[in-house]
Amino acid sequence: AQSVAQPEDQVNVAEGNPLTVKCTYSVSGNPYLFWYVQYPNRGLQFLLKYITGDNLVKGSYGFEAEFNKSQTSFHLKKPSALVSDSALYFCAVRAGRDNFNTFYFGSGTKLNVKP
Amino acid sequence: DAGVTQSPTHLIKTRGQQVTLRCSPKSGHDTVSWYQQALGQGPQFIFQYYEEEERQRGNFPDRFSGHQFPNYSSELNVNALLLGDSALYLCASSKDRGHEQYFGPGTRLTVT
């Protein structure tokens, strides 16, 4: 069965410092991994995905994520955090059978960036 | 180019009632998925529609049903509402069952 885990409910970081939001996964077969961000009273916005290729994936708003197969992790990173990055972040793994795609989401990590 | 739209934005219902939520997919998309996001949790997959048929279903009871129309828009119906059905209901659309899903802003359902 496909699943993802986000071990931290909340991450606090000072503006300008690097940030990391952790995600580990469990899948059968090759993983398709995603990061989404959710601002208050908004839907989910796509940040980046890993399907195949380079283990370091670059996405929107300066975010990147590192795929590590041996550690089954897909941590989200940003070199320099902004106050506007404060939001709820979700890691997701592709699921579904045949040619149909759905997602299993983690429980989310609240990122607080302080000035 | 309009993205995914959902209506209504907010809804308050009484336990035992029935509710219908609506979703219009992003232009060019033909696949619609519905998710339930309870407070403080990640979204959970309810079901997915493609070519007007339910193609996949998550672990939700039969009280949750849906429909997809020829124009690809979709409805989510919930019967016999329970307090635990209070959540943000998210609609996501994709093209040809693809994994690039675009999410709408959601409908906040409160059951009292």
Domains of chain A: 3-114 (2.60.40.10)
* Residue type (1 letter), B105: P
Is pLDDT of B1 > 70? no
Residue A28 — very low, low, confident or very high, per pLDDT cuts 50/70/90?
Answer: confident
Task: Verify whether the Cβ–Cβ distance A96 to B56 is below 8 Å.
Answer: yes
Task: Verify whether the Cβ–Cβ distance A43 to B56 is below 8 Å.
Answer: no
Question: Of all residues in chain A, what percent are helix, strand and coil, respectively (each to 5)?
Answer: 5, 50, 45
pLDDT digit string, tens, across residues A61-106:
999 999 999 999 999 999 999 999 999 999 999 876 666 778 899 9
Do B102 and B38 form a contact (C-beta atoms < 8 A)?
no
Is pLDDT of B111 > 90? yes
What are the C-alpha distances in Å from B1 to residues A26, A48, B27, B69? 36, 21, 7, 20
In whole angstroms, how large is the CA radius of gyration of chain A?
14
Considering chain A, what percentage of its residues have pLDDT values greater than 90? 74
Task: Verify whether the Cβ–Cβ distance B103 to A32 is below 8 Å.
Answer: no
> Look-up: residue for tokens 């995603």?
A34
Nearest CB partner across the interface for B97, out of A92, A101, A107 = A101
Q: Count how many domains chain B has.
A: 1
Q: Which residues of chain B are within 8 Å of residue A43 when distances are taken between CB atoms?
A: 4, 90, 103-106
DSSP H helices, chain A, are: none
Q: Which residues of chain A are within 8 Å of residue B98 when distances are taken between CB atoms?
A: 101
The pLDDT of residue A96 is: 67
Identify which of A83, A89, A15 has the alpha carbon closest to the alpha carbon of residue A48: A89
Q: Which whole number is the average pLDDT over A18-41?
A: 91
Nearest CB partner across the interface for B42, out of A41, A90, A96 = A90
List, as own/partner pairs, every contact residues A53-61 make where C-beta atoms lie below 8 angstroms and the sequence separation is at least 24, other chains included. A59/A35, A61/A85
Is some CB atom of chain A closer than 8 A to the CB atom of B102?
yes
> Look-up: residue for tokens 């979703």?
B23
Interchain CB contacts (distance < 8 Å): A and B: 62
The shortest C-alpha distance from B75 to chain A (Å) reads 17
CB atoms within 10 A of CB A110: 16
Task: Verify whether the Cβ–Cβ distance A90 to B90 is below 8 Å.
Answer: no
Exposed/middle/buried for A112, CB within 10 Å: 0-12, 13-18, 19+?
middle
Task: Verify whether the Cβ–Cβ distance A43 to B100 is below 8 Å.
Answer: no
Is pLDDT of B56 > 70? yes
Domain residues for B57?
A: 5-111
Residue B87 — very low, low, confident or very high, per pLDDT cuts 50/70/90?
Answer: very high
The pLDDT of residue A101 is: 77
Q: Which residues of chain A are within 8 Å of residue B68 when distances are taken between CB atoms?
A: none
Q: Is B96 helix (H, G, I), strand (E, B) or coil?
A: coil
The shortest C-alpha distance from A81 to chain B (Å) reads 23
The enclosing domain of B86 has a CATH number of 2.60.40.10
Interatomic CA distance for residues B112 and B107, integer angstroms: 16
Task: Spell out the residues 6+ positions from residue B62 whose beta carbon is closer than 8 angstroms to its own.
Answer: none
Task: Verify whether the Cβ–Cβ distance A105 to B43 is below 8 Å.
Answer: yes
Do B7 and B107 form a contact (C-beta atoms < 8 A)?
yes
Is pLDDT of A26 > 70? yes
Query: Measured in whole angstroms, how far is the alpha carbon of residue B27 from the centre of its chain?
Result: 17
How high does pLDDT run on average in chain A? Answer: 92
Interatomic CA distance for residues A50 and A56, integer angstroms: 9
